[in-house]
Chain A
């Protein structure tokens, strides 16, 4: 238990100590929010969609959690290169505990990031419709965090260095984001796109966030929740399996 806690704490401390990273990771969601929000806002409402900022904000929150947590997971590559990974791997603790501590740390960092972005969206004009549903929104944010930190861990356990990183960015992270319905509504898509969006686990995170924050969702909240929990458990298992196989 202590081991999980100290590795969680390490992750959180490292996040708060890198101010440039915090600022950098807030700039992107803000840019998306302003550019897309105001750029497409007019078009969206003319097409009968309503207020685009309202629609977009949960998607941007999900995006920032996705990026932050997947990067925190991938940090294992840095730890491998800078050697700290060895310190944890020769210690008499189970690899699962190490992985769990790191993952919860990454998820916490992602959650903090998500909440900060939520506050940013308020400035731009976003208003959650039901404050009492906010805790459930945080729950969805946290689940997205655990899910994608595990994905990051799984990837990093198989990568030796940062060289493959561009590939992952372009062929995994970006598609997960763009095909999750974070930016556009998922109804009326061509059938292939429809299937892909339904395979993308982030879709259910975005949908769940939208359901809790603005009361509009494609699926039921219980379906969103169930799919996310299952995907999270699966990737947590894959991540810890691959992590346990690391040799340095």
Chain B
């Protein structure tokens, strides 16, 4: 089994809105793979399906050899995830957040403390381990989330726009760590971004996604060759056009729009 993620004709609809439109791709074991696309392209939706948070409307998704519909728990054990927006409990301390994660992932209690200590040291938060998370800055929260996502030694690390709102120092530090880890532990990394240089520098292969479809896939070099351009940015713009996209509506916003639309029809 060479592919750790295998996606076949995946479609996701929210009502009439097609967020992901019949996409196919695979990610190889140990690979660093990027989803590059403008706002609202379907990046986050795809990640949510890969991580069992959303159910696909159609298609087959296999993660680490397990089907996301039939074998949820095994899929969930296989990955760690850092979400686009924070998912920490602000009223708990950094250590308590880590501990809770350790128990959710049934990490043996004899190992828990050492692992938490190592990871918190690594993200330089160990001296703040007993502070409530609500006292942390955005960058500190992100670092803590990365540490938490790695606590159960996942085979795949999902990062959804992981560097959004981080300063260049933290960004660099984070990528260095993730790259090292990927090399040492043969961990697969799947991330989404709309920063070109990030995709170009970090990812071994890139899928460009727009309007829910994958319009190109390959190494940065492939993409440039394919579009006869000199940089990934030019390739990207050539493929996706110059139209400015609206901020992606969250699930909630979309439902609200639907509700309003329905209300309007009744009148």
Given A10-B92, A83-B87, A90-B51: A248 and B251 interface contact (C-beta under 8 Å):
yes
Q: Give Cα A93–Cα B102 distance, bound, in whole angstroms.
A: 12
Name the residue of chain A whose CB is nearest to the CB of B91.
A14
> Which B residues between 80 and 122 are near A, CB-CB below 8 angstroms?
81, 83, 85-92, 96, 99-101, 103-106
The yes or no answer to A84 lying at the interface (CB within 8 A) is yes
Decide yes or no whether A242 CB sits under 8 A from chain B: no
Interface residues on A, range: 20 to 34
Contacts of B132 in A (CB 8 A): 17
Q: Could you say which of A6, A82, A160 contacts B103, with CB atoms under 8 Å apart?
A: A6
A83 and B76 form a contact (CB under 8 A): no
- The residues of B that contact A91 with a CB separation of less than 8 Å are 76, 101, 104-105
Q: Is B237 on the interface with A (CB-CB < 8 A)?
A: no
Measured CB to CB, the closest approach of chain A to B10, in angstroms, equals 16
B164 at the interface (CB under 8 A from A): no
Bound complex: CA A86 to CA B105 (Å): 14
CA A83 – CA B87 in complex, angstroms?
A: 4
Q: Which of A18, A79, A93, A248 contacts B104 (CB 8 A)?
A: A93
* A92 and B91 contact, Cβ closer than 8 Å, known pairs A6-B103, A82-B86, A247-B53: no
* B141 → A minimal CB distance (Å): 10
- Report if B130 contacts A (CB, 8 A): no
Q: Which A residue's beta carbon lies closest to that of B99?
A: A6
Chain A minimum-CB-distance residue to B251: A248
Instruction: Say which residue of B76, B83, B255 sits within 8 Å of A92 (CB atoms).
Output: B76
A13 to chain B: which residues have CB within 8 Å?
91-92, 96
Q: Does A88 contact B (CB under 8 A)?
A: yes
**Separation in Å of the B186 CB from the closest CB of chain A?**
21
A89 touching B90, Cβ below 8 Å: no
Contact of A90 (CB < 8 Å), options: B81, B85, B91: B81
Who on chain B is nearest to A5 by CB? B103
**Minimal beta-carbon separation of A59 from chain B (angstroms):** 31
Q: Which residues of B contact A90 (CB under 8 A)?
A: 51-53, 76, 79, 81
Nearest-neighbour CB distance to chain A for B153, whole angstroms, equals: 13
- Contacts A82-B90, A83-B85, A84-B88 hold; do A248 and B53 have CB atoms under 8 A apart? yes
B91→A247 contact, CB < 8 A: no
A6 to B96 alpha-carbon distance, docked (Å): 10
A248 to B83, CA, bound (A): 12
Closest 5 CB pairs of A and B: A83-B87, A91-B104, A92-B76, A92-B73, A6-B103
